[in-house]
Structure 1
């Protein structure tokens, strides 16, 4: 007799839990789209593949500058990976904070320029100079699983911004 009572109790609890779970999931699916913030950009997936590059004055070309710390003596593959991380971080920041820049940058080829930075201090100076000119920056910190210590700041992405503005921040640096 005890087995029947406990099994019927089990089914009652299981049934109630299933009903509550299904009801709350349905309610959340109806409510969440209403409370999510509206998209910040009109940029559509795959649109970058269909953009025709506009002829422009090269001083006004939108670019992304990648400042690579030369003092770390990273190998080429490591530098490429860190620059990739910086480009993705910059893209994410653009979409979130200034989506109007994305079509301008992509229409002109999505140009990326890598320059040498001599130290972490210089990386911070560049970050500060960019912020004074209201230019987006993203600083990349390495996980430390290969060539550098965990948390090492390896690359800074500056922009995208017009070349004339970026030259005020990074024009003195040598190409990487």
Structure 2
């Protein structure tokens, strides 16, 4: 290739990158809030009350911010000591993911949009006990991260926690909570 062809390719690449960046960041906070309100209005069923999240209160979920190119992820900590079937684990992981998504879309829609734009990373990790999940939940909420626990629906009294979802949030923050855990 000649020098002018290389320069032309570089110029076209930079122009495409600039246009893509402008289009990607053109959605304002007001647009996101309107979209969230419209989605919430469509999905809200007045006959079905919003389930209360027992346990620790949330911190300031709107305080967590991600940088422009900072990756975000959602982590699912699954208890392995309960010896659950794969289908039960998958079902509870979906429930935990949805619980975090619903809580965060209402309080920090910009972070959710950023997570969606950066690939919606979801990581499953091994948890060893109820005590460990409780400790991780406390740590996450102290850092203002969204943390939701899903319990075994089949047991009414003293139902054990099965899955803890943390995030979506910047990878660095989530790793401060779950960095020492192993992949599921």
**TM-score, normalised via structure 1 length:** 0.64
Measure the CA separation in 2 of the matches of 1:131 and 1:143: 24
Measure the CA separation in 2 of the matches of 1:40 and 1:97: 12
Measure the CA separation in 2 of the matches of 1:41 and 1:83: 27
Task: Tell me, yes or no, if structure 1 residue 142 matches structure 2 residue 152.
Answer: yes
Measure the CA separation in 2 of the matches of 1:41 and 1:86: 23
CA RMSD in angstroms comes to 2.0
1:41 and 1:95 in contact (8 A); partners too: no
Q: 1:88 — aligned with what?
A: 98
Gaps of 5+ in 1: 1-38, 46-55
Aligned length: 122
1:43 and 1:103 in contact (8 A); partners too: no
Rg larger in structure: 1
1:66 and 1:156 in contact (8 A); partners too: yes
Measure the CA separation in 2 of the matches of 1:41 and 1:162: 21
2:109 aligned counterpart, secondary structure: coil
Task: Tell me, yes or no, if structure 1 residue 74 matches structure 2 residue 84.
Answer: yes
1:93 aligned counterpart, secondary structure: helix
Offset from partner CA, 1:51-85 (integer Å, 9 cap, x none) = xxxxx86xx31100001011111111111001000
Task: Tell me, yes or no, if structure 1 residue 43 matches structure 2 residue 43.
Answer: no
1:64 and 1:160 in contact (8 A); partners too: yes
**TM-score, normalised via structure 2 length:** 0.62
Residues 123 and 105 (structure 1 numbering): CA distance in 2 closer, same or farther, change over 3 Å?
A: same
Per the TM alignment, residue 97 of structure 1 is displaced from its structure 2 partner at its CA by 2.0
Residues 98 and 125 (structure 1 numbering): CA distance in 2 closer, same or farther, change over 3 Å?
A: same
Gaps of 5+ in 2: 1-30, 40-67
